[in-house]
Amino acid sequence: MKTGLIHCGDCLVQLKSFRADCVDLVYIDPPFNSNRNYSTEGNDDEKRQFEDKFDNVAAYLDYMKPRLKELHRVLKPTGSFYYHCDWHASHYVKVLLDGEDLFGYGNFQNEIAWCYRSGGANPKKRFSRKHDIILLYSKTADYTFNGLREKSYNRGLKPYRFKGVTEFEDEAGWYTEVGMKDYWEINMVGRTSRERLDYPTQKPEALLERIISASSNEGDIVLDAFCGSGTTLAVAQKLKREWIGIDISPAACKLATRRLHQLRL
């Protein structure tokens, strides 16, 4: 499989030319069924936009299903699949992915909550919606997973001194290291962030670093079939993975190509 390429076009069409079982990791951050039109003016006077409007949830799922079938087909038996979405459709998407004609209920591994802070109005009649959902499926029971660790601070930030438990101390206090949990607090790409490329819904590199580190090894092939500004591809490149991107928007492909070119200089 040729890597280091960004294919411009509908991923349904592009994926048909990929052979079966050829990529190690798929991450997608497709339209969410949010009923919005996302756009920002790029620096190069090219409008960076995409529409996320479907008549109803059924129409959204009908649109996604054939694309998901292709993604499932191209994933290696040892591969993993991450679907980034939010409250608009995550529950319907899970039912779809649980189907035996896709990943199957038994191959569901995690529902990751990506928690962030962002501005916006304070709703009066419900809680503020401040997380996205990322569904993780493996293709089979035998899949790559490099467990990540995180700090768990001791109560009172003091040492416990339990027998056989290794403890560490940093500027905040004493902690142990535990297996990473399924809720991740990671900042969004803010207005002043150095990562910012002015692409609507651009995701932070730190989020993709976790996904790619956990579910692939150096030299593996990472595919993002809705790659937008190329966040997944840039992180894959930094982590010494091979990568393939697809996006239907010529402006997105141009931006992602420039991003990757600058990284490879």
Ligand X SMILES: C[S@@+](CC[C@H](N)C(=O)[O-])C[C@H]1O[C@@H](n2cnc3c(N)ncnc32)[C@H](O)[C@@H]1O
Q: How far is the CB of 201 from ligand X (least distance, A)?
A: 4
Alpha helices per DSSP H over the chain: 11-15, 57-74, 90-98, 205-215, 231-238, 250-264
Interaction site with ligand X (CB under 6 A): 10-11, 29-31, 50, 199, 201-203, 225-226, 228-229, 231, 246-249, 252
Among 1, 4, 14, which residue's Cα sits nearest to residue 246?
Answer: 14
Q: Which is nearer to ligand X, 107 or 241 (CB)?
A: 241
Minimum Å gap between C-beta 102 and ligand X is: 17
Q: Which is nearer to ligand X, 35 or 154 (CB)?
A: 35
The closest alpha carbon to 264, from 231, 243, 238, 228, belongs to 238
Q: Which is nearer to ligand X, 107 or 210 (CB)?
A: 210
Tell which residue, 237, 233, 217, 213, has the closest CA to residue 225. 233
Q: How far is the CB of 145 from ligand X (least distance, A)?
A: 22
User: What residue number has its CB nearest to ligand X?
Assistant: 228
* Cβ at position 65, least distance to ligand X in Å: 12
Scanning the structure block, which residue is given the tokens 């992915």? 97
Among residues 37 and 146, whose Cβ is nearest to ligand X? 37
For residue 136, the cross-strand partners are: 82, 110
